Amino acid sequence: MTELSWTRKDLLGIADLSAAEIQLLLDTAESFREVSLRPIKKVPTLRGRTVVNLFFEPSTRTRSSFEIAEKRLSADSLNFSSATSGLVKGESLVDTALNLQAMSPDLIVIRHGHPGVPHMLAKRVAAGVINAGDGAHEHPTQALLDAFTIRQHKGGFEGLKVSIVGDIEHSRVVRSNVLLLHKLGAEVTVAGPRTMMPVGVEALGARAVYSLREALEGADVVMMLRVQLERQSQAAFPSAREYFELFGLTQARLKAAKRDVILMHPGPMNRGIEIASDVADGRYSVILEQVANGVAVRMAVLYLLSGVHREAE
C-alpha cells in the first residue's frame, strides 16, 4: 500500500482531496472488500467507537450502506433522522451540533438538503464529519464507490471516457464524480437537456454536450442519473415521455458506446424515464456492484477518519 497516510479530520468533499488521497481511499477500500466476502462479515477495527448517522433528508440507500459499514467495523452507531423525530423541529443546526458534541462521538455521518451544512458542522465538533450528501453540492462517498467500481472493471482512469447523463444542475453525484474523475485523469463528459445544465458547468472540469448520442459515442463508462421531473421548475422540461425520447438510455442507443462499456446508476432508478429496464438489468450494467462496493468504500472512509490507523503506527 501507498506510503501516504491520512491526516484529515473530515471528508467534506472531493474538491478538497488530492489524487494521492483518493487513491489511498480506494486502496483501503480494496482491503475492506474482502471482509464482505467472509462468512462472518465483521472485524473489530472500530470497537468502542461511536458513529452518529445524522440524516436530515430521507435516504434508504446511503444510510443503510453506512450502517452496514459501521456494523461490519464493530462501531457503535446511533441513528438520527428527521423521520424518526430524533431531530427536533425548529432546533438550529448549531444547537444540534453542540448537543452532538456533548455526547462526544468519534464520527458523524451527515446528509442534509442544504449545501455547506457538513462544513458548518465540521467547524463546530471535534468528531470527524463525513458528508453523505449536501444538497446539490457533493456526495463524496458516492463518487468514491463509483470510482472503485470503475477501477475494478477498467484498471485505471487515465484517458478513460466517462459520460454522465441527466439533470446535471441538481445533482451532487455529478459534482463529486466530475471532480474525482478529472483529478485521476479521466475525460468526463456531462450531458442533459440545456435547461438542466448549470450556468458555469465548464468550471467543474467536464465537457458539456446536449445530445445523448454525442455523450455515448466511444464512452468507456456511462453513468445515468435519476431525473425527478416533479422537482424541476416548470420551465425545465415538459414531460417524462419527452425526456425518455431525448435522453432515455435504450439498448439501441447504448451501441454508440465502446463494446466493453459499463453502465452505472447511483440509484434509485426511474425505469422508463432515464433508463429502459432491459438496459438496467442487461449485461453492461454494474449497478448492483456499485451497491456492494459502497459498503467497502464507506468502511474505508470510516476507518481512515477514525484515526485508528495512526494509533496502530
Partner 1 sequence: MERLLIQGGRLVDPGQGVDDRLDILIEDGRVERIGKGLKAGRGGETVEAEGLIVAPGLIDMHVHLREPGQEYKETIESGTRAAAAGGFTAVACMPNTQPPNDSRPVTEAILKEANRHGYARVYPIGAISKGQKGERLAEVGEMVRAGVVAISDDGWPVMSPELMRSALLYAQHFGVPVIQHAEDLGLGADGVMHEGEWSARLGLPGLPGAAEDLMVARDILLLEQTGGRYHVAHLSTARSLELVREGKSRDLGLTCEVTPHHLLLTDREVADSDFSTQTKMKPPLRSESDRLALIAGLQDGTVDAIASDHAPHHADEKDVEFSAAPFGIVGLETTLALGLDRLVRADLVSLYRLVELLSTGPARALGIEGGRLAPGDVADVTLFDTEPRRMVSPKRFQSRSRNTPFLGWRLRGRPVATFLAGRRVELS
Which string of DSSP letters, residue by residue, matches 6-28? ---S-B--GGG--HHHHHHHHHH
Nearest by Cα to 288 from 152, 171, 189: 152
Q: Provide the mask over 108-147, with x wherever binding to partner 1 is found by CB under 8 A and - wherever it is not.
A: ----x-xxxx-xx--x----------xxxxx---------
- Please report how close the Cβ of residue 168 comes to partner 1 at its closest, in angstroms: 9
Give 3-state DSSP helix, strand, coil % of the chain, rounded to 5.
45, 15, 40
* Site for partner 1 contains 172 (CB under 8 A): yes
Binding residues for partner 1, rule CB under 8 A, total 26
* Site for partner 1 contains 92 (CB under 8 A): yes
| Listed ranges 37-45, 192-200, 214-222, 299-307: which one lies at the site for partner 1 (CB under 8 A) | 192-200
Q: Kindly give the pairing relationship between strand 161-165 and strand 128-134.
A: unpaired
* Site for partner 1 contains 93 (CB under 8 A): yes
Q: Is 306 left (phi over 0), alpha (psi -120 to 50) or beta?
A: alpha
Neighbours of 170 (CB within 10 A): 18
- Please report how close the Cβ of residue 171 comes to partner 1 at its closest, in angstroms: 8
Measured from the CB atom, the residue of 198 and 266 that comes closer to partner 1 is: 198
* Site for partner 1 contains 67 (CB under 8 A): no
Which string of DSSP letters, residue by residue, matches 236-255? T-S-HHHHHHHH-B-HHHHT
Measured from the CB atom, the residue of 105 and 198 that comes closer to partner 1 is: 198
In the complex, the residues that contact partner 1 under the rule CB under 8 A are 15, 92-94, 112, 114-117, 119-120, 123, 134-138, 172, 175, 198-204
